[in-house]
């Protein structure tokens, strides 16, 4: 049974609460005044005014650059880049300005900015609107990177990102916006709310450890169910935060089970899963395996798009290989 707010509504409500409690929190981006393309800003301009929910020109470099300047001047901007694919037009502002300011100026300047970048395959949206580029941002010193998988996590991590004193890249999956948490997920989130830098053990197990994040976590959970029907007891861990990622929780689990599978929607080659797998192998000596997308652009045709999806059956197959 599904319950509560959708992924988009939960984020909107968390943002509204932050704006109500702190007048320094502002929003800027394309179409935010009309609610955003996924409805994640619906009603906010009417409530807080056009001076705090600011529609911008179609220029990602301008949006990100303005956000950096506002943050340095004392605001807490939430910068909307529509989809992660468009963030490529703002990489200088993100990489060389937001991420490095605190270090280069000895802490005199801080950039408490949240950069919202929807990631992942977006059905029938093809190669330029379906990328998962989280590894790019996790690679950059100075950035915090979050990637929530559920509505509850989206709300909790977004609110913490707004309160942070450093730039946070907040990655929301394009195909999760309309989804609601099921009762089990909602209960788990209530018992252990998402926290930046802390993983959550979604399912306890003894035979192998599966690690995932964002939408791929939901398919990893389905894969764990398939494996359970075969007598395989998989432990499933949701990262939620890719940097700093929760090494202790993952490494403790991998040491106990002796096997680690990392699965993500992003291209497997040089994906963030490689960092998790290598770290676990170095620290624990466990066997490792990855399940990610092939190194191909996401196709527009449904058959081509399907080739880039890493579905539960593929995750379960990778787990069986690991168990051999």
pLDDT in tens, 222-269: 999 999 999 999 999 999 999 999 999 999 999 999 999 999 999 999
- Residue 191, pLDDT score: 82
Measured CA distances, 9 to 6, 124, 145 (Å): 5, 24, 21
Q: Please name the residue that has the structure tokens 């949206």.
A: 125
Same fold, 2-180 and 197-323: yes
Measured CA distances, 267 to 1, 131, 295 (Å): 32, 9, 5
- Residue 186, pLDDT score: 87
87's tokens: 């963030």
DSSP state of 16: H
Measured in whole angstroms, the distance separating CA 141 from the mean position of its chain's CA atoms is 17
pLDDT per residue over 44-86, tens digit each?
Answer: 999 999 999 999 999 999 999 999 999 999 999 999 999 999 9
Separation between Cα atoms, residue 242 and residue 171, nearest integer Å: 10
Separation between Cα atoms, residue 254 and residue 94, nearest integer Å: 34
**DSSP assignment of 27-72:** EEETTTTTT-TTSTTTTHHHHH-TTTEEE--S-HHHHHHHHHHHHH
Split at pLDDT 50, 70, 90, the class of 1 is: low
- Residue 46, pLDDT score: 98
Split at pLDDT 50, 70, 90, the class of 188 is: confident
pLDDT per residue over 275-299, tens digit each?
Answer: 999 999 999 999 999 999 999 999 9
Least reliable range by pLDDT among 129-143, 176-190, 219-233, 244-258: 176-190
Architecture of domain 2-180: 3-Layer(aba) Sandwich (3.40)
Tell me which fold the domain 197-323 belongs to.
Answer: Rossmann fold (3.40.50)
Give the helix/strand (H/E) hosting 191. Answer: helix 183-191
Is position 24 annotated as part of the catalytic site?
no
Q: State the catalytic residue, choosing from 9, 30, 60, 134.
A: 60
Question: pTM score, two decimals?
Answer: 0.97
- Residue 192, pLDDT score: 84
Reference 220, options 315, 87, 142, 111; nearest CA is 315
The whole-number average pLDDT for the span 113-136 is 97
Separation between Cα atoms, residue 145 and residue 11, nearest integer Å: 16
- Residue 190, pLDDT score: 85
Question: Is residue 130 over pLDDT 70?
Answer: yes
Question: Is residue 2 over pLDDT 70?
Answer: no
Question: Which residues neighbour 161 within 8 Å (Cβ) at sequence distance 6 or greater?
Answer: 114, 144, 146, 168, 170, 196
Separation between Cα atoms, residue 86 and residue 27, nearest integer Å: 17
Reference 273, options 255, 299, 251, 292; nearest CA is 292
In the chain, where the domains are located = 2-180, 197-323
Q: State the catalytic residue, choosing from 9, 129, 134, 235.
A: 129
Least reliable range by pLDDT among 93-97, 107-111, 305-309, 318-322: 107-111
95's tokens: 């990489």
Cis-peptide into 33, omega within 30 deg: no
Question: Is residue 178 over pLDDT 90?
Answer: yes
The whole-number average pLDDT for the span 297-312 is 97
Measured in whole angstroms, the distance separating CA 154 from the mean position of its chain's CA atoms is 9
Is position 60 annotated as part of the catalytic site?
yes
């Amino acid at each position: 049974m599904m319950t509560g707010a959708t992924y988009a509504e939960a984020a909107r409500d968390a943002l509204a609460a932050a704006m109500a409690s702190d007048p320094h929190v502002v929003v800027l981006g394309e179409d935010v005044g009309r609610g955003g393309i996924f409805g994640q800003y619906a009603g906010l301009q009417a409530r807080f005014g056009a001076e705090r929910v600011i529609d911008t020109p179609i220029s990602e470099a301008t949006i990100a650059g303005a956000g950096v300047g506002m943050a340095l001047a004392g605001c807490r901007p939430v910068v909307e880049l529509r989809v992660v694919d468009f963030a490529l037009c703002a990489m200088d502002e993100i990489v060389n300005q937001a991420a490095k300011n605190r270090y280069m100026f000895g802490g005199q300047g801080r950039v408490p900015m949240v950069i919202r970048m929807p990631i992942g395959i977006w059905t029938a949206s093809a190669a330029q609107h379906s990328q998962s580029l989280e590894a790019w941002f996790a690679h950059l010193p100075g950035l915090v990177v979050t990637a929530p998988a559920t509505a509850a996590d989206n709300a909790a991590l977004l609110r913490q990102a707004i309160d942070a004193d450093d730039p946070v890249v907040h990655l929301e999956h394009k195909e999760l916006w309309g989804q609601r948490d099921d009762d089990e997920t909602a209960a788990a989130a209530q018992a252990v709310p998402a926290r930046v830098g802390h993983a959550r053990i979604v399912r306890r197990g003894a035979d192998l450890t599966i690690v995932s994040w964002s939408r791929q976590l939901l398919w990893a959970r389905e894969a764990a169910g398939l494996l359970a029907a075969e007598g395989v007891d998989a432990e499933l861990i949701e990262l939620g935060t890719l940097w700093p990622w929760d090494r202790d929780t993952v490494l403790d689990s991998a040491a106990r089970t002796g096997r680690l599978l990392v699965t993500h929607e992003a291209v497997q080659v040089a994906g963030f899963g490689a960092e998790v797998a290598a770290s676990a192998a170095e620290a624990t000596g466990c066997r490792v395996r990855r399940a990610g997308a092939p190194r191909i652009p996401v196709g527009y045709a449904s058959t081509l798009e399907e080739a880039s999806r890493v579905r539960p059956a593929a995750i379960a197959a990778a787990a069986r290989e690991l168990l051999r």
